[in-house]
Amino acid sequence: MVLQLHVWGPAFALPSIDAQCLAAIAYCSLALPKDSWELVASSDPSVSPTGELPVLQNGAVWVSRFRSIVDYLRQYSKGAWDLDNQLDETSRADNIAFSSFIESRGQSLVDLYLYVTSQNYYGNTSPAYGSLLQWPNQWILPPKLHGAAKGRTEHLGLSSLDLQAMEDQRQRDHSAAVAAGKIPKNLIQRPRDTVSSFLGRTAQSNHFRIEALTAEFFEPLEAMLGRKAYLLTAEDEGTPSSIDCIALGYLSLALVPEMSFPWLRDAMRAKAPLLSAYTERLRRRCFGDAPIEIAHAFAPESVPESAPESPISWRAPGRISVAAVGTTLLSTLADSTPFLREIRKNNGLKKVAQSEDSGLSSTEKRVLNLHAESKKKDMYVSIATVVGGVALMVGYMMQVGMLSFQTEDEEEEVEEGSGEASEAAYPTVAEFLAV
């Protein structure tokens, strides 16, 4: 059985546009024999039952997320495909701590670099997605990813890298200034302080904050690497470990892409020359010498025989069918409708939990099932709240309105339905609404 690794497709001469996918590819390419796995650039999270990429498919078993994939490969091969089996206790601890460090800090930096920085997103990232996604996903997925990246980096206070947000901010400031003459000072909502608002509102003034963030990220890694061949082991005594794969995932996205505003690459080259050389070396080892093009992923047969041997064997993703396009469109429509979205998410989860061969243990199934159930309850509660609220509102209006309706009826009885009575009834409702 050939394992299939589904990932986001290639971009910027790298085999994937997503750091976690790059890490998974690097791990497979280092740990697995070449003929035991294939890479599929599905670029569509809906292929996976959990809705996430990267996902490893072995027949009917789907495993998503880097760490779960690593665990699954170890169990599946009975310990043979395991890069971390040589590590002693200290290295194991470092392996865990550095992966958590790279994943948390690296993710924020990559988010800021590829998505939040407007020049890079509109100039490079968005076009890259455009060429690797199929219609209609190229219109649906990039804005979602863009929004998610912005949400993840909000707390860093670097939204001024985002020119669009800057423009919104300026407009808010402007309207605040207009209102300043009319509204007492302490009632004007103060615009959120961004770093640049302290330092003079230019993109260059982000420099200090970015300087600090990149230094915090690169310096421990550079010190850890030192003159060694890999983060944890020297060349002569060992092999790369899973931490090297994660590092490669995030660092290659920082180093390799040609961006319009390459602040992260400049910072990395300046602050961590050893780390840059290490990334370059490891990248050639895991992904091959030649830069990867989109054609490699989508039409592997077309690559000429003379091309240098690559450690990755691609398999073209299935051609998108009319039915699939229809499903995507429908599900996007459904996902943007409240309640319907919740129902769909739950059903998807439950299906995973209940399918016999999903590769989950019984506890995991139980937990997943419980989670789906509780989400369902949550949803019913929110539906009930909305219905209850509307009913209460209508009831209240009826109560207020009823009095006047009754008077209307009485008056009608008296006056035999003259127009004046019904006219008199309307203002009460209108008054209520005005209040």
Partner 1 sequence: MPPKTSEGSPQPSTASSFFTVPPPIKKLFDKFPLATYPANDLPQRSPTRRQGNQLFVFTDAAGARNGRPSFNPQCLKWQAYLKFVGINFETTPSNNHASPTGALPFLIPSQPIETANAIPSHKLQKWAIEQVHCEEEQQLNLRFEVYASLLDTRVRTAWLYMLYLDSQNFEAVARRLYVEPATSNTLVRAALGLQLQQAARDELLKTSKYIDVAELEGDAGNAFEALSSLLGDDDHFFGRPNPGLFDASVFAYTHLILDDSLGWKQNRLAQLLREHQNLVQHREKLLGFFA
Residues that bind partner 1 (CB under 8 A): 45, 50-52, 65, 67-68, 89-90, 92-94, 96-98, 100-101, 103-105, 107, 148, 151-152, 184, 216, 219-220, 223-224, 345, 349, 361, 363-364, 367-368, 371, 374
Of 96 and 343, nearer to partner 1 (C-beta) is: 96
The CB-of-193 to partner 1 minimum distance in angstroms stands at: 11
Q: How many helices (H) and strands (E) does the chain have?
A: 18, 5
CA-to-CA separations, 374 to 352, 360, 368, 378, in angstroms, rounded:
16, 19, 10, 6
Of 90 and 321, nearer to partner 1 (C-beta) is: 90
The CB-of-49 to partner 1 minimum distance in angstroms stands at: 11
Of 395 and 427, nearer to partner 1 (C-beta) is: 395
The CB-of-95 to partner 1 minimum distance in angstroms stands at: 8
**CA distance linking residue 45 with residue 281, whole number of Å:** 30
With contact defined as beta carbons under 8 Å apart, do 147 and 111 qualify?
A: no
- DSSP H helices in 35-88: 66-76
Length of the chain: 435
The CB-of-2 to partner 1 minimum distance in angstroms stands at: 26
Token duo for residue 59? 């027949």
Of 189 and 361, nearer to partner 1 (C-beta) is: 361
**CA distance linking residue 249 with residue 240, whole number of Å:** 14
Task: State which H helix or E strand residue 197 sits in.
Answer: helix 195-199
Q: Across the strands, what pairs with 6?
A: 40, 55
Token duo for residue 2? 């050939």
Largest CA distance in the chain: 106
Buried-exposed string 205-223: b where 16+ CB fall within 10 A, e elsewhere: bbeebbeebbeebbeebbe
Of 223 and 430, nearer to partner 1 (C-beta) is: 223
Residue closest to 116 by CA, chosen among 269, 263, 267, 215? 263
The CB-of-151 to partner 1 minimum distance in angstroms stands at: 6
Of 224 and 316, nearer to partner 1 (C-beta) is: 224
Of 364 and 410, nearer to partner 1 (C-beta) is: 364
The CB-of-157 to partner 1 minimum distance in angstroms stands at: 12
The CB-of-222 to partner 1 minimum distance in angstroms stands at: 9
